[in-house]
Amino acid sequence: MRGDAGGRVRKTVDAVYRADSRRVLATLIRLLGDFDLAEEALHDAFRAALEQWPRDGVPANPRAWLVSTGRFGAIDSLRRRARFDASLAELANQMERATRSPEVAGSAPGGGGETDSVGDDRLRLIFTCCHPALTPDAQVALTLRSVCGLTTEEVARAFLTTPPTVAQRIVRAKAKIRDARIPYEIPSRDSLADRLDAVLHVIYLVFNEGYSASSGTSITRDVLSTEAIRLGRLLVELLPEPEAVGLLALMLLHESRRAARTAADGELVLLDDQDRARWNRELITEGSALVERALSSRRFGPYALQAAIAAVHAEAPSGSQTDWAQIVGLYEVLALADPSPIIELNRAAAIAMRDGPAAGLTLIDAILERGDLANYYLAHAARADLCRQLGRRADASASYQRALDLTRQEPERRFLERRLQNLDPA
């Protein structure tokens, strides 16, 4: 096959890679029991596709073909290498015996279970990458690399670190999985809740860093929030637990405001000042429906409650028409479900909007006096804003300066600097 036909096949291979490479990898990890061997098998399978599909035609089930080709290619590779390492021969034999099992047979071309098993394989991969035995940094790096398919360089750029640092995290994570014999499995029903919390936490960390970057020159890092939402959709598709639904709703509702969060020059625009006509109504509609779905289950938790708060904001025609009483009530329920100083801070800010700046300031001062959030810039920024509204300029100036000292994101720094400059002289 030459010319245009060959070009069409290459485009088909590229499309299959974009759509199915993570699914193929997840299945190969289950079949081969090793991340590195599976990744090598994945690339070998796609290389074989580029060589064989132009000649033989695209198979009826490209994903199953790739799994089968990758699996048997890995076994053949181990047999060749066994000439120099006898232990690899037994490993190859074990893998070949495993391919005859009913579970594995379903992944072969023509096997009946390939479509059914691939979802379980992706779910296994997510739970393995987010295993609590791994450090949080390693969980995030391995998830973005193995589940989302980001390159090491893309992960490094997203988190403003170096590719060697990310690569080392991934290497250590894979070694930990191998050496600690972390099972590649979906947790049992008894342990599912705790393990699901870890998965949701990783996805939420990735989204937060994408939605509001902790440092750097940009307010957002689109690649991270996009991948987090993609992970959230995948998790809801495979395991539609109420909190997974709630997290997806929360991310979609926040994401709906992305375009309005920055001005044309890239500067930060606060929620009350945003042009709500620029909010994405499709995401709001989808997110709000997911909130209702999660809450109606009666098994909701912190993510669904946060999504409910975001939905109240999304439904308000303007900042002044926001139902702050409802938001305060939701924060009070959230504080019972998931008590934390940050939730207290958010509740205090909502009370300030409902009852006036003095009421909110009293609560924020109490949080800071306990030593909680002393190094959290948003606490000091919130205090500064309430002091400014109350005419306490010196206190506002000190709190703005403290927030500025703690902020590493350039657009937020410029926003705080403008607030400082705009304070009227005492």
* Cβ atoms of residues 304 and 249 within 8 Å: yes
* Cβ atoms of residues 110 and 116 within 8 Å: no
pTM above 0.85, yes or no: no
* Closest C-alpha to 266, from 222, 213, 220, 223: 220
pLDDT of residue 116: 44
pLDDT of residue 276: 96
pLDDT of residue 89: 53
Along the 426 residues of the chain, how does pLDDT read in single tens digits?
455 666 888 999 999 998 899 999 999 999 888 899 999 999 999 999 999 999 999 999 999 999 999 998 988 887 776 555 555 555 555 555 555 544 444 444 444 344 445 568 888 999 999 999 999 999 999 999 998 888 898 888 877 789 999 999 999 999 999 999 998 888 887 888 788 988 999 999 899 888 888 778 888 888 889 999 999 999 999 889 999 999 999 999 999 999 999 998 889 999 999 999 999 999 999 999 999 999 999 888 999 999 999 999 999 999 899 999 999 999 999 999 999 999 999 999 999 999 999 999 999 999 999 998 999 999 999 999 999 999 999 999 999 999 999 998 899 999 999 999 998 654
Cα 137 from Cα 135, distance rounded (Å): 5
SS3 33: coil
Work out the burial of residue 264: count CB atoms within 10 Å of its CB; fewer than 13 is exposed, 13-18 middle, 19 or more buried. Answer: exposed
pLDDT of residue 356: 97
pLDDT of residue 110: 41
* Closest C-alpha to 213, from 225, 202, 201, 230: 225
Looking up tokens 């920055």, which residue turns up? 262
